[in-house]
């Protein structure tokens, strides 16, 4: 158990809809990272938050947004969903904002768009 | 587009064999390299974080080396066991932009 909690585990919805994925980092970790893993692709970095502030941005679509709240949990919002957004979305956390520490991954949220 | 390449893509070894695989990344603007182990139906688990050229890290039978000047890292597994079967991922972070770039992994199967 990594200590990172992601909810829900599975989500099935339709094109055009909007969903929110939630992540609670390990106790004491200030940084949260979001990743997308689509079929036949590796992990794609989406965005990092550190102590409530955006720290780094990857290939995140404009239809996607994220935030980190004062209690350090984070949400990833996906809107105007398309079939290609079907993927496994991982959240990871680390103690600080730099990359000299390993990331601890949650179990992921599997999003299926019908 | 920044490429992080891992080779081989997959590997089958007999129990007890030692094995190694490679992660290649851009040699410029290096900041850190991470190795993760990802078992089927689980989430990635951190193995090593490497930051200095010439770094060598070890965890039990698994070790890793880093060459930032030529842009590669090796992961070694000594005396492979069936429980080592997993996908091994590397992730590169450069010193600009703060993004992580993951390779597509090496899938290792250890045959009892």
Distance CA B71, CA B68 (A): 5
Contacts of A42 in chain B (CB under 8 A): 89, 102-105
Q: Is A101 on the interface with B (CB under 8 A)?
A: yes
pLDDT of residue B69: 94
Distance CA A9, CA B96 (A): 33
CB contact under 8 A, B49 and A99: yes
The shortest C-alpha distance from A94 to chain B (Å) reads 11
Contacts of B60 (CB under 8 A, 6+ apart): none
What average pLDDT does range B37-60 have in this prediction?
93
Percent of chain B topping pLDDT 90: 84
The shortest C-alpha distance from A65 to chain B (Å) reads 16
What average pLDDT does range B32-43 have in this prediction?
93
pLDDT in tens, A11-54: 999 999 999 999 999 999 999 999 999 887 889 999 999 999 99
Q: Chain A to chain B, count of Cβ pairs less than 8 Å apart?
A: 60
In the structure, what pLDDT confidence band is assigned to residue B41 with cuts at 50, 70 and 90? confident
pLDDT of residue B80: 97
pLDDT in tens, B7-21: 999 999 999 999 999
The shortest C-alpha distance from B19 to chain A (Å) reads 22
pLDDT in tens, A83-109: 999 999 999 999 987 778 899 999 999
Asked which of A88-92, B65-69, B90-94 is least confident by mean pLDDT, the reply is: B90-94
Residues 9-68 on A with a CB inside 8 Å of B are 33, 35, 41-45, 48, 55-58
pLDDT of residue B1: 65
B59's tokens: 């965890």
Q: Considering only alpha carbons, which residue of chain A is nearest residue B92? A: A99
Q: What is chain A's length?
A: 114
Distance CA B45, CA B47 (A): 6
Q: Is A100 on the interface with B (CB under 8 A)?
A: yes
Output the average pLDDT for chain B: 93
């Amino acid at each position: 158990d990594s200590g990172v909690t992601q909810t829900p585990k599975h989500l099935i919805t339709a094109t055009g809809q909007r969903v929110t994925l939630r992540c609670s980092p390990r106790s004491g970790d200030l940084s949260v990272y979001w990743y997308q893993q689509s079929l036949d692709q590796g992990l794609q970095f989406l965005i990092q938050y550190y102590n409530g502030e955006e720290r780094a941005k990857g290939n995140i679509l404009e239809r996607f947004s994220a935030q980190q709240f004062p209690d350090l949990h984070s949400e990833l919002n996906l809107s105007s969903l398309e079939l290609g957004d079907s993927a496994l979305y991982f959240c990871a956390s680390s103690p600080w904002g730099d990359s000299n520490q390993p990331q601890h991954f949650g179990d992921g949220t599997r999003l299926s768009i019908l | 587009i920044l490429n992080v390449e891992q080779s081989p893509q997959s590997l089958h070894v007999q129990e007890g064999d030692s094995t190694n695989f490679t992660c290649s990344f851009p040699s410029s603007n290096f900041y850190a390299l991470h190795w993760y182990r990802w078992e089927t139906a689980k989430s990635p688990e951190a193995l090593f974080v490497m930051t200095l050229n010439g770094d060598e890290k070890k965890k039990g039978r698994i070790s890793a080396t880093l060459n930032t000047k030529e842009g590669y890292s090796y992961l070694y597994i000594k005396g492979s066991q069936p429980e080592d079967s997993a996908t091994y991922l590397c992730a590169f972070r450069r010193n600009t932009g703060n993004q992580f770039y993951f390779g597509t992994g090496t899938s290792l199967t250890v045959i009892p």
